[in-house]
Amino acid sequence: MKAVGLVTEYNPLHNGHLYHLATAKQLVNADVVVAVMSGNFTQRAEPAILDKWHRTKAALLAGVDLVVELPVQFAVQPAHLFAHGAITLLDSLQVTDFVFGAEHADWNFGDLVAAEDQFEPVNFSHFNATYATLFNDQLQRQTGIALTEPNDILAFGYTKANLQLATPIQLHAIKRTGSAYHDENIDDQINQIGSASAIRKAVTDGNLAYENLVPPQTAFNLKQLKHVNDWEDLYPLLRYQLIQAPLTYIHQIYQMSEGLEYRLKRAAQTATSFREFMQLAKSKRYTYSRLQRVCLYTLLQVSTQEMQVRFKTPYLRVLGFNHSGQKYLHQIKKTVKIPIITKVDVELKKQQLQLDYRAGKLFEQLSASEQDLRRKPIIV
């Protein structure tokens, strides 16, 4: 069976994702569609609008055959590490082709990756700007192109990771269609492809026009929501932790570098809302995404040492499959080189899946629904 891979968040699954899914399968004439999907927290460290189980079922009903979770240590990371983890899992799943969306699908991302070898040595810590800004300055000088759109940045990351890991996966970029990635406007045109941001905002505002932008299962799940969770819901936990923990402890948190712990602790002592906290913590050196990720690492109590260990020990956590996905798993299971996990027991939650388990418990503070222990894959 020939498998095509997708890397997704489905936050939530919408018509643009259906287009991506159908196009990917047709493009490479695949027998099976395998999706590597972020769990309950997104790349920007935001709680997903629906938990991973609801999103898995929606994906299977939409035509995905096998859904595997992208672990927290990969899912909540900047683009290059997110891409590294995703490509690692796709390679382990033995997919032959990987199809992803990009704002500029006609760009030769391999050439852009090669251009990085010509960059002048820069000590980024000496500059009062984000890494992305300084990186793009050099890339634009070398190629005339800057990576400013989210999916283009990920496309660059996927290409680089595929080369670094020397995987045999064929990469295919397709042009992203519909609304812009961050567009929060929505209307009621039938079959429109809107952005996930617009759909989440519509759900928050009680604007049912989003029903035309998502498949039926997603629409049903979204209508059951009484509240759309966000960082304001998590902020009391974060604030308490930052105020009460010693600076020496906070300093050990992953990505808590360059004295950031002092800045976050001061902000927490003053700010009564997460929005105010982020405004106080923000500087030219740190993007909002970087700060949110550090906040999540703080809540999960992830040390630099633990993250390094987790990053080197990937696994395949199966969230769901249909008959074709089950057949494909049976086909590859004897040659897969990393563990395949279908059920989290007490031992796994203490060892290999400890970080994902902690993330699940944090998400349960918002959803009140068990996320990991003894949960079995969804079968459609």
Reading the chain (380 residues) residue by residue, the pLDDT tens digits are 999 999 999 999 999 999 999 999 999 999 999 999 999 999 999 999 999 999 999 999 999 999 999 999 999 999 999 999 999 999 999 999 999 999 999 999 999 999 988 887 766 555 567 778 888 888 999 999 999 999 999 999 999 999 999 999 999 999 987 665 556 677 644 457 888 999 999 999 999 999 999 999 999 999 999 999 999 999 999 999 999 999 999 999 999 988 999 999 999 999 999 999 999 999 888 889 999 999 999 999 999 999 999 999 999 999 999 999 999 999 999 999 999 999 999 898 889 999 999 999 999 999 889 999 989 999 99
Is position 113 annotated in a ligand binding site?
Answer: no
Q: Check whether 18 is labelled as a binding-site residue.
A: yes
23: annotated binding-site residue? no
User: How far apart, in whole angstroms, are the C-alpha atoms of residue 6 and residue 179?
Assistant: 20
**Do residues 253 and 290 share a domain?**
yes
Judgement on whether residues 24 and 136 belong to the same structural domain of the protein: no
Asked if the structure places residue 149 within a domain, the reply is: no
Whether 30 maps to a domain, the answer reads yes
Residue 10 marked as a ligand binder: yes
Would 62 be classed as within a structural domain? Answer: yes
Query: Are both 158 and 302 inside the same structural domain?
Result: no
Same domain? 74 vs 205 = yes
The answer to the question of residue 113 being in a domain is yes
- Is residue 24 in a domain? yes
Residue that terminates a domain, selected from 121, 144, 167:
144
Listed residue (306, 290, 304) closest to 124, CA to CA? 290
The residue among 127, 115, 98, 104 whose CA lies nearest residue 27 is: 98
Q: 65 and 187: one domain?
A: yes
20 in a labelled binding site: yes
Q: Which of 256, 275, 308 is where one domain is finished?
A: 308
What is the 8-class DSSP label of residue 190?
Answer: T
Q: Is 7 annotated as a binding residue?
A: yes
17 marked ligand binding residue: yes
The answer to whether residues 324 and 194 belong to one domain is yes
The torsion defined by the Cα of 289, 291, 296 and 301, in degrees rounded to 10, comes to 140
DSSP three-state, residue 243:
helix
Known binder of ligand: residue 323?
no
Q: Which domain holds residue 30?
A: 3-107+154-228+312-379
Same domain, 78 and 190: yes
Kindly state whether residues 253 and 375 are assigned to the same domain.
no
pTM of the model: 0.94
Domain stops at, among 275, 308, 341? 308
Residue 144 known to bind ligand: no
Asked if 258 and 375 sit in the same domain, the reply is no
User: Is residue 234 annotated as involved in ligand binding?
Assistant: no
- 368 shares its domain with 267: no
Rounded to the nearest angstrom, the gap between the alpha carbon of residue 160 and the centroid of all alpha carbons in its chain is 18
Counting the structural domains of the chain, the total is 3
Judgement on whether residues 68 and 178 belong to the same structural domain of the protein: yes
CATH number of the structural domain spanning residue 82: 3.40.50.620
Do residue 205 and residue 95 come from a single domain?
A: yes
